[in-house]
Structure 1
Amino acid sequence: MLTLTSPVETAFHRLPAGVKLGAVALGSVLALQVTSLAGVGLLLAGLAAAYLSQGVVFARAAGRQISGLWPVVAVILVWHGWTGAWAAGAVVSGRMIFAIGLATLATMTTRLEAMLMLAERALQPLARLGINPKAIALAMALVIRFTPVLLDKAAQLVQAWRARSPRRAGARIVLPVALAALDDAEQVAEALRARGGL
């Protein structure tokens, strides 16, 4: 499965998935109300304290996951800097980092099965409309499972391209990655059918 879980057991693991996801939703809404740099700084300091309270190893693992945001943050800051609104860009970036950091905290400390069971329960009212909640939960699990697999295949294709050409691969690998995704989807569908499907 996707390696988003924490490398160490923390106190947050003992909280129910519903409580953590509710806290993520509430925290994200509250973060949107913060409009000052000082307020965003307090939010980020609180988030950092929550990570560090569970140990340096846990905080470093979270930092590695959140560090993937830097290109987006850079674009936001450059744009706001160009328009002369550095402070507004910093507030927007800080709120985004806080919301994603909060979601990462919940994801790292919640088993995928618990999240999917919660999603299935939350989607249960859709059964009255003829929609199968188990199918949606399974689709969510498959997306989470195959995202890193697809990224790994894309990285392998880029490496193969670099071994054969001095030019950058660019959009040339989009079609092979798409075909690999379709091939994986077909194999998973056949495996599900062979096991009785849903």
Structure 2
Amino acid sequence: MLTLTSPVETWAHRLPAGAKLAALALATTGLFLLASPWALAGAALATVALYLTGGGRFARTGARHLWPLWPFVAVVGLWHLWTADLSGGAAILLRMVTAVALANFVTMTTRLSEMLAVFEHLARPLSPLLPPRRLALAFALVIRFIPVMLDRMAQIEASWRARAPRRPRWRVLVPAVLAALDDADRVAEALRARGGAD
């Protein structure tokens, strides 16, 4: 639960966590400045090439982490088909998938302890109000939990489809919330067993 770092060692694992997070922030900002679907498609292809530099196994694992995005892609795509705004829809989808893929790349190549150290350093000015260690841990856990919860939602939806012919829609929300609370309890117990966040 606490780590989604890829076991496949790549060149990106050796880069400093701060540099990767800064590059992610700049790249994401750049994606939102691009308006042309062709430019965004180029960014998406560059992201695919980035994954492939880690090898086939690494790229396949990254693609599996992105699979839970398909409901969002489907909804946005269908809406823009219905409104006949194909260019705008393509730009939104390319921007969203590329940004999530870049964040996933950083997550897969950065250890939780390294990410925690970066956030703790950035949170140091807030130390009179909030202990930097706790704030850093909260940020790091949010980043780690997002793909885990997306994967859990996909599992719950698959279980529903195996038992019922109807589409799950809102019915998966309660099990998903309960699963999130259960995961949070387990992480809290693990943290307490290791001495807490201090």
Same fold, TM-score > 0.5, yes or no: yes
Q: Which residue in the other structure is 1:51 paired with?
A: 51
Shift of 1:177: 5.0
Shift of 1:13: 0.6
Code of the residue aligned with 1:135 in structure 2: it is: R
Shift of 1:8: 0.8
Alpha-carbon RMSD: 3.6
Q: Which residue in the other structure is 1:136 paired with?
A: 135
Larger radius of gyration, structure 1 or 2?
A: 1
Q: What is the 5 A alignment of 1:24-35?
A: 24-35=24-35
- Give 3-state SS (helix, strand or coil) of 1:32's partner: helix
Asked if 2 retains the 8 angstrom alpha-carbon contact of 1:119 and 1:137, the reply is yes
Shift of 1:178: 3.3
C-alpha distance in structure 1 between counterparts of 2:48 and 2:110, whole Å:
19
Code of the residue aligned with 1:16 in structure 2: it is: P
Q: What is the 5 A alignment of 1:22-101?
A: 22-101=22-101
Identical aligned pairs, as a percentage? Answer: 39
C-alpha distance in structure 1 between counterparts of 2:38 and 2:130, whole Å:
46
C-alpha distance in structure 2 between counterparts of 1:101 and 1:87, whole Å:
21
138-147 or 73-82: which moved more?
Answer: 138-147
C-alpha distance in structure 2 between counterparts of 1:150 and 1:45, whole Å:
24
Code of the residue aligned with 1:68 in structure 2: it is: P
C-alpha distance in structure 1 between counterparts of 2:192 and 2:26, whole Å:
37
Matched residue pairs, number? 195
Q: Which residue in the other structure is 1:16 paired with?
A: 16
C-alpha distance in structure 1 between counterparts of 2:66 and 2:190, whole Å:
35
C-alpha distance in structure 2 between counterparts of 1:180 and 1:29, whole Å:
30
Q: Which runs of 5+ in 1 are unaligned?
A: none
Cα distance 1:173–1:113, how it changes in 2: closer, same or farther (>3 A)? same
Q: Which residue in the other structure is 2:115 paired with?
A: 115
